[in-house]
């Protein structure tokens, strides 16, 4: 990283500094990464007023202007991808290999938004399927519900912000982005690239607001759409606070894997062990779809358990700036202390630690547990750390019931070669996505992504978020010679 420097906010088309400065520090060693500031009440008002004031101009933007702006951001991110990755690693602590992957995904998100914007041309429907509607045709266009308040989390500080900003630009909706206070710099860098485009001043603002002071922003009637990614209690508090708004919630999970008895060859088991180990630990476990629970058929359990433990133990932990590091720190020491406590609670209740289990500062060892009580926090809650729980099952039905025995329902991975089992999983599992032959952590950024139960409401994925941010407006043409 370069020498730490000030990062201003983009508010109503101007670069501004707020009255209360704060320093972003590296989760691994506490070193300073950069300084920025919290917006004053007047600056927050300026951002919201600008979004409200520009909404008609934004909606009227020709599609080619929106698409070219999105492509410009995509190209500039691609040009600066190494710098962007280093910044993600510095403020978030994820290893450089994963930060590069996140930066690359954001490049694609803006490109896909541009492609979807160019196809955003409405729908024509003949109405004369009924005799009473002879000569009538409907033209249906989607228009923005209004300016969007986007609240993004710390675990993917660039890509999850992109998933909110890009579809808003694509549909012509102004957006006020509030990044996580722990990781605001990636969003502020993105704001630099947005400001290079021909989008109207004030269409995009990026502001820092402390989480405990965000309720006024949430309540502002000029921001009728809220897109939030983060913890369940905060998300549901937002939903309760503003029942009249359109609220999209991407919340937590405790993602499960099922390994069926037909997934039995040595190559199968090696693949499953590698994917399970990698995606339980790839963001130090700080992913809503990171592997947490693994249900293995009894006939494969001992063999696959040993392969998983060996693979997890071999993952390189340490300084995330090292290109070889696979498992970095969690976001701060407070989070690491909580994860360690949950492990100790499970062990005190009879669980066995097969590898890992220790903490050093903000770093938690990649950990595998078995013989865990069904009501342990590491099973029932979202641990958001590098902890994996293995459990035996005697049938697919038992495994699927265990997966569904959760407050969460985001994604599940099912390792099977049986097509009927795949379709049964898709039918019966109470989740937003089922990944066959791989871990549940797979996400293509253009596909619909989201969960059920306490994993949230609404969907991300470019076209699906664009639909969430808009409504259908119908024009009926009468007296046509069809």
In this predicted model, what pLDDT tens digit does every residue of 265-294 receive, in sequence order?
Answer: 999 999 999 999 999 999 999 999 999 999
Task: For residue 207, name the pLDDT band (cuts at 50, 70, 90).
Answer: very high
Annotated active-site residue in 86, 91, 102, 250:
250
Annotated active-site residue 288? The verdict is yes
Indicate the pTM of the whole model: 0.96
In this predicted model, what pLDDT tens digit does every residue of 117-171 receive, in sequence order?
Answer: 999 999 999 999 999 999 999 999 999 999 999 999 999 999 999 999 999 999 9
What's the pLDDT at 131? Answer: 96
416-446 in b/e form (b: 16+ CB < 10 A) is bebeebbebbeeebbbbbbbbbbbbbbbebb
What's the pLDDT at 4? Answer: 65
In this predicted model, what pLDDT tens digit does every residue of 41-89 receive, in sequence order?
Answer: 999 999 999 999 999 999 999 999 999 999 999 999 999 999 999 999 9
Q: Which two tokens stand for residue 277?
A: 């180990």
In this predicted model, what pLDDT tens digit does every residue of 150-161 receive, in sequence order?
Answer: 999 999 999 999
> Mind giving me the DSSP string for 293-360?
EEEEETTTHHHHHHHHHHHHHHS-BS-TTSTT--B---S-HHHHHHHHHHHHHHHHTT-EEEE---EE
Annotated active-site residue 45? The verdict is no
What's the pLDDT at 476? Answer: 98
Question: What is the mean predicted confidence (pLDDT) over 240-251?
Answer: 97
What's the pLDDT at 38? Answer: 98
In this predicted model, what pLDDT tens digit does every residue of 210-222 receive, in sequence order?
Answer: 999 999 999 999 9
Annotated active-site residue in 86, 288, 370, 454:
288
Q: Which two tokens stand for residue 74?
A: 């995509």
Task: For residue 2, name the pLDDT band (cuts at 50, 70, 90).
Answer: very low
116-150 in b/e form (b: 16+ CB < 10 A) is bbbebeeeeeebeeeeeeeebbeeeebebbbbbbb
Task: For residue 303, name the pLDDT band (cuts at 50, 70, 90).
Answer: very high
Q: What is the mean pLDDT of the chain?
A: 97
Asked if the model's pLDDT at residue 3 lies above 70, the reply is no
């Amino acid at each position: 990283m370069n020498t730490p420097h000030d990062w201003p906010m983009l508010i109503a088309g101007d670069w501004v500094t707020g009255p209360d400065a704060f320093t972003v520090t590296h989760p691994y060693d506490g070193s300073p990464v950069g300084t920025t500031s919290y917006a004053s009440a007047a600056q927050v008002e300026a951002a919201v007023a600008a979004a409200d004031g520009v909404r008609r101009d934004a909606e009227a933007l020709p599609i080619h202007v929106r698409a070219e702006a999105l492509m410009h951001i995509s190209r500039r991110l691609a040009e600066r991808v190494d710098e962007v990755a280093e910044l993600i690693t510095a403020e978030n602590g994820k290893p450089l290999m994963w930060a590069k992957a996140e930066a690359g995904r954001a490049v694609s998100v803006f490109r896909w938004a541009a492609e979807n914007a160019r196809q955003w041309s409405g729908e024509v429907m003949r109405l004369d399927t009924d005799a009473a509607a002879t000569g009538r045709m409907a033209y249906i266009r989607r228009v923005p519900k209004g300016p969007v308040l986007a609240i993004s989390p710390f675990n993917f500080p660039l890509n999850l912000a992109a998933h909110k900003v890009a579809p808003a630009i694509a549909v012509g909706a102004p957006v006020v982005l509030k990044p996580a206070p722990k990781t605001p710099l990636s969003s502020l860098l993105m704001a630099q690239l947005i400001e290079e485009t021909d989008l109207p001043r004030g269409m995009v603002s990026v502001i820092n607001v402390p989480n405990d002071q965000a309720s006024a922003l949430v309540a502002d009637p000029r921001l009728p759409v809220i897109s939030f990614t983060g913890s369940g209690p905060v998300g549901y508090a937002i939903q309760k606070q503003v029942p009249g708004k359109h609220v999209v919630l991407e919340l937590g999970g405790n993602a499960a894997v099922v390994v069926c008895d037909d997934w039995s060859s040595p190559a199968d088991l090696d693949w499953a062990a590698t994917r399970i180990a990698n995606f339980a630990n790839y963001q130090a476990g700080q992913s809503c779809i990171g592997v947490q629970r693994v249900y293995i058929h009894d006939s494969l359990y001992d063999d696959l358990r040993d392969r998983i433990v060996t693979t997890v133990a071999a993952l390189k932990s340490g300084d995330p700036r090292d290109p070889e590091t696979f498992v970095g720190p969690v976001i701060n020491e407070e989070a690491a202390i909580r994860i360690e406590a949950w492990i100790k609670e499970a062990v005190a209740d009879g669980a066995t630690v097969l590898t890992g289990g220790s903490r050093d500062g903000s770093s938690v060892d990649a950990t595998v547990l078995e013989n865990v009580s069904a009501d342990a926090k590491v099973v029932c809650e979202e641990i958001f750390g590098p902890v994996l729980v293995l459990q035996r099952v005697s049938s697919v039905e038992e495994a699927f019931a265990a997966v569904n025995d959760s407050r969460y329902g985001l994604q599940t991975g099912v390792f099977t070669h049986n097509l009927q089992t795949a379709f049964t999983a898709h039918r019966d599992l109470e989740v937003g996505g089922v990944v066959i032959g791989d871990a549940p952590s797979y996400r293509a950024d253009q596909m619909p992504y989201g969960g059920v139960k306490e994993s949230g409401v609404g969907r991300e994925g470019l076209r699906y978020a664009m639909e969430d941010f808009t409504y259908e407006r119908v024009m009926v043409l009468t007296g046509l010679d069809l």
